[in-house]
Amino acid sequence: MEAGIVSYGAYVPRYRIAPEEIGKVWGVDGKSMGKGLMISSKSIPGPDEDTITIAVEAARSMMKRVDVDPQDIEAIYVGSESHPYAVKPSGTIVAEAIEASPDLTVADFEFACKAGTAAIQACMGLVGSGHIKYGVAIGADTSQGAPGDPLEYSASAGGAAFLIGSKKVIARIDGMYSYTTDTPDFWRREGQMYPSHGGRFTGEPAYFKHILSCAKGMFAKAGTSPKDYAHAVFHQPNGKFPTRVAKQLGFSDAQIKAGLLVPLIGNTYSGAVPLGLAAILDEAKPGDRVFAVAYGSGAGSDAFDITVTDEIKSFARDRAPTVKQVIENPKFLDYAHYAKFRGKINLGGG
């Protein structure tokens, strides 16, 4: 059965901090740090925001754009590495918020930065096999970076939601391919506030190896090459990595432009490829092919071969803000407020 994206919605918290402001506190040249990472600002969740509120905002925007009865949604999967609860699902709150409960299945996914694309795969399986009418896949995070750690310059917040179905599909998912190994480049154990990472080990043997292998596997499976695609989006922990990986695969800067959001909002982890894909769909035309490869530490990559359909012409995009509209009009914070918002200040006694 033909299946794919029926609608989508995006959300990024309004607050930002610049690398210069972070560097000032830690005695680091933040400007050149930002230049090296190709990040000029990163998003920060407000004190009343978390992965669930981000997921709800994105899902609500997604629902506004279609006239789908929420009761026809039979699965919701939320992918994140910052679910607010260790035990208690994020997805149930999303389900209630968009009035999809109780006749549905819900689960939270975790696979570092690619939990959101894993959710898309699960929905594609259920829709494609005819088990359900609609599934919702969400990738959202309020990612953590320890104070003073290089991660602090990139770890940000945001997310996107996708309605997966088989009717009025605006972007057909024609092929999926994944590449997974046990590669411990980045991890956070139960109870730890901040993740640990392998420094430069997170580059070549982790991000690059998995994305390149996965992309090549997808090309082989789909019988395509970079020139077949109008747009491409890769996981974007910083601006440098996706730009380099695109070049290595043979994509041009123009092909990755629409989906490259990290320079303005930082690394939204599970939200990164979903948000990039949403930004591409904001401007895609019928017939455009889109290539997407996510990466999650630990480690694995999910690739998607997507074709935008004629349905996008009648799709009510304007009923909810585009990614561009979501991220414009930011409010910049100083480090003190950033630390307060992110719970980095110990208030004593709780």
Strand, helix or coil for residue 190 = coil
Smaller CB separation from another protein, 31 or 317: 31
- Which residue in the list 49, 113, 152, 210 is annotated as catalytic? 113
Q: Please, what is the minimum distance in Å from the beta carbon of residue 262 to another protein?
A: 21
How far is Cα 85 from Cα 108, in angstroms, rounded to an integer? 10
Q: Which residues neighbour 348 within 8 Å (Cβ) at sequence distance 6 or greater?
A: none
What are the phi and psi torsion angles at 107 (to 5°)?
Answer: -155, 155
**Residue 214 annotated as catalytic:** no
Least distance to another protein from the beta carbon of 186, Å?
Answer: 13
With CB under 8 A as the rule, give the number of residues binding another protein.
8
Q: What is the end-to-end Cα distance of the chain in Å, rounded?
A: 53
| Edge-to-edge strand ranges of the sheet holding 289-296 | 105-109, 73-79, 134-142, 157-165, 4-11, 171-183, 298-308, 289-296, 231-234
| Coil/strand/helix, residue 3 | coil
Residues 6+ apart with CB under 8 A from 346: none
Q: Which is nearer to another protein, 26 or 221 (CB)?
A: 26
Q: Which of residues 7-36 bind another protein (CB under 8 A)?
A: 29, 32
> Is the separation of the CB atoms in 134 and 74 below 8 Å?
yes
N residues, the chain: 350
Pick 105 or 196: Cβ nearer another protein:
196
Closest approach, Cβ 164 to another protein, in A, equals 37
Annotated catalytic, 96?
no
- Structure-token pair, residue 225: 């090459």
Instruction: Between 109 and 295, name the residue whose CB sits nearer to another protein.
Output: 295
Look at residue 43 and give its three-state secondary structure. Answer: strand
Which phi and psi angles does 204 have, rounded to 5°?
Answer: -50, -60
Of 180 and 322, CB closest to another protein: 180
CB of 205 to another protein, least distance (A): 4
- The residue annotated as part of the active site, out of 57, 74, 81, 152, is 81
- What mask, x for binding another protein by CB under 8 A, covers residues 179 to 218? -------------------xxxx--xx-------------
248 contacts another protein (rule: CB under 8 A):
no
Please report how close the Cβ of residue 208 comes to another protein at its closest, in angstroms.
Answer: 11
CB of 199 to another protein, least distance (A): 6
Residues 29-68 that bind another protein (CB under 8 A): 29, 32
Q: Which is nearer to another protein, 71 or 187 (CB)?
A: 187
Measured CA angle at 3 (ends 78, 242), to 5 deg:
60
Of the residues 197, 210, 231, 235, only one is catalytic, namely: 235
Is residue 204 among the annotated active site residues? no
- Answer yes or no: are the C-beta atoms of 160 and 274 closer than 8 Å: yes
Residues found near another protein in the complex (CB under 8 A): 29, 32, 198-201, 204-205
Instruction: Please identify every residue annotated as catalytic.
Output: 81, 113, 235
